[in-house]
C-alpha cells in the first residue's frame, strides 16, 4: 500500500462514538481547562476558555452530534474556518492513517441533518468512525460577540 495516499486523522472518543479530525486542522491537544459560559450560545457551545492567552469557544462534540453532554477530559484545538476552536472530547486515542477509499460520504437520509458536522463515515477496527468537518463548528454570529467581550 502506498502510504502517501493515506489520510492522517486524530481519533477521539466522545461517549460511545469514535470521531476523527483531519490532522492538518489540528493545532494541539490538552487537558480540559475552566470554561466561562456565554449567554445565548447554542447548546453545543459550552462557553469560552482562555488557552495560551486567547479566549476560544469550546464546542461540546457530544452535543454537536446529538448525544448528551459528557464530562470532557480533553480539548482538541482546531483551525476552523480561519479561527481556532476548542473541541471538548472524552479521550484522544491518537493519530491513525486511514485509506481515503475506506471513508464514504454520508448516506442520503443523514446528509441534511449532519452535513454541517460530519464530512464522512467509515470503519476503524470494526467500529463506526465519524470524520468531522472542522471548518464550521461555531457560527460567526456566536463567536464574534463572545470573543469581543472576553478578557484574557
For residue 104, CA distances in Å to 78, 94, 118, 121 come to 22, 21, 11, 5
pLDDT in tens, 63-122: 888 887 767 899 999 998 788 999 999 999 999 999 888 888 766 655 445 556 888 888
CATH 2.30.110.10 is right for the domain spanning 3-149: no
C-alpha closest to that of 134 among 120, 119, 114: 119
pLDDT in tens, 20-65: 999 999 999 999 999 999 888 888 899 999 999 999 999 999 888 8
Would you kindly state where each structural domain of the chain is located, as residue ranges?
3-149
- Does the predicted TM-score (pTM) go above 0.85? no
The DSSP result for the chain, as a single string, is: --GGGPEEEEEEEETTEEEEEEGGGEEEEEE----B--TT--TTEEEEEEETTEEEEEEEHHHHTTSPP----EEEEEEETTEEEEEEESEEEEEEEE-GGGEEPPPHHHHHHHTTTEEEEEEETTEEEEEEP-S-SS-HHHHHHHHHH---
User: What cell numbers appear for 52 in the block?
Assistant: 495560551
Amino acid at each position: 500500500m502506498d502510504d502517501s495516499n493515506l489520510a492522517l486523522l486524530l481519533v477521539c472518543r466522545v461517549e460511545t462514538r469514535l470521531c476523527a479530525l483531519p490532522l492538518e486542522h489540528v493545532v494541539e491537544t490538552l487537558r480540559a481547562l475552566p470554561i466561562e459560559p456565554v449567554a445565548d450560545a447554542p447548546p453545543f457551545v459550552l462557553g469560552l476558555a482562555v488557552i495560551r492567552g486567547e479566549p476560544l469557544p469550546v464546542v461540546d462534540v457530544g452535543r454537536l452530534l446529538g448525544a448528551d453532554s459528557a464530562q470532557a477530559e480533553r480539548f482538541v484545538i482546531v483551525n476552523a474556518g480561519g479561527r481556532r476552536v476548542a473541541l471538548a472530547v472524552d479521550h484522544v486515542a491518537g493519530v491513525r492513517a486511514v485509506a481515503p477509499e475506506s471513508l464514504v460520504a454520508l448516506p442520503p437520509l443523514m446528509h441534511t441533518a449532519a452535513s454541517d458536522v460530519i464530512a464522512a463515515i467509515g470503519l476503524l477496527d470494526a467500529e463506526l468512525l465519524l470524520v468531522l468537518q472542522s471548518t464550521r463548528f461555531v457560527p460567526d454570529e456566536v463567536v464574534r460577540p463572545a470573543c469581543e467581550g472576553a478578557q484574557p
